[in-house]
Structures are given as structure tokens and as C-alpha cells.
Amino acid sequence: MIVLALLLQTRLSLVDFALTAWVRDRDVRIEDAYKWLFQATRGAEHALSDHRMVKAWLDEEWAGLKSPLPSEPLFVSLTPDGTLVRLNLRPFRAKGRTKAEVLKLFLHAGAHIKGSKADFERAWSALGSDLHDAQLERLGTLTYTDWTKLDRKTRAKGFPAIDHSLSYERSRMPSYRLASGPELVYVLRWNRK
């Protein structure tokens, strides 16, 4: 019983942590919240079925990278403890870091950070509860009505990975890979050029 309570508390703190970021961000839509929770609880496993494809995907994206966007951070923590982060490729490359480092970080995160569908479902349901309980059913740009629509659509498909919203895609042009926060710190601090 104590273990279950701790797991539930961990998932709820993930939602509280993420909501803090989402409420301040006018570009975040319900799809982006879903994707954040999916990545924070499931990691990168869905994208790692073929290592050659992962490398080719990175090669293509890396070749087309432009300068970092104004105020684009090097990384965004997806979890309260920094275990899992989105490593933004443009600022990483601008710091003189390499594509090989990104690939290694991404593959390491995929191999060592495991989550579960149940973890995602708990976090996603907690978000739905928070939105339902919110005054006027809105937290930032997130609404309970939008949550309900996306929940119906994704639940019927077994909660798959999804893309960012068009709003987020247009404003952020996201270009990142998931990485272990501690591993990223190690690479940045100890593997200097």
C-alpha cells in the first residue's frame, strides 16, 4: 500500500511539475502536454526499434539545423528530478557538441530509462482530473474539453506516441532528443572538446 501511494505521489508530482511549465507557455496545447507526459513516463523506447533508422533520422535532422531560436534552452527537464530531459539540438550544436554525442545520449536514455504504459495512464488521468477540477475547466491553454477529446482518440488506440500540436510546431520548430539528465551533465562537464 505504501509503495502504491509513493508511485501515485510521484506521478502526481510529475503533473504538478509539468503544469508549472505549461501554464506559462501560450504555445502548449493538449497534444504537447500528452507528449510531455508520454516521454516523461515512457522514455524513448517507442523510437528505438531500429538503431540504423534512429541514426539516419538524426543525420537528416542535424544536417538541416539552423541557429538556436531566441532564448531556446539547451535542455528542458521532463521530470521533477531531472532524470529525463529534452536535449535541444540547435543550442547543443551551437556549443560545439557533436551529432555522435547526441546519438549516444539518446540511445543511452532509451536503454536505461524505462517506464510503463501504466505510469503514463496515471499521469494522463491526473492531468484530466486537474483540468476537470480547475476553475472554468482551464489551466493556461489546456482545457478539460480538449483533454476529453484527445483521451477518447488516444485511449481507443492504446495511448500511442503522438506529434506536437501545430501551434507548438510553428512557434518552436522542435528539434530535440530525449536524454538522461545525469548523463547529459556528465557529457557537458567531463567530455569537453
Give the model confidence (pLDDT) of 127-168 as tens digits: 999 999 876 556 788 999 999 999 999 999 999 999 999 999
Q: 77: which strand partners? A: 85
Residue 110: pLDDT over 70 = yes
* Residues 140/25, Cβ–Cβ less than 8 Å: yes
pLDDT given at position 134: 73
pTM for this predicted structure: 0.88
Residue 4: pLDDT over 80 = no
Give the model confidence (pLDDT) of 27-67 as tens digits: 999 999 999 999 999 987 666 667 788 899 999 999 999 99
Buried-state track 149-178, b at ≥16 Cβ within 10 A, e below 16: ebbeebeeeebeeeebbeebeeebebbbbb
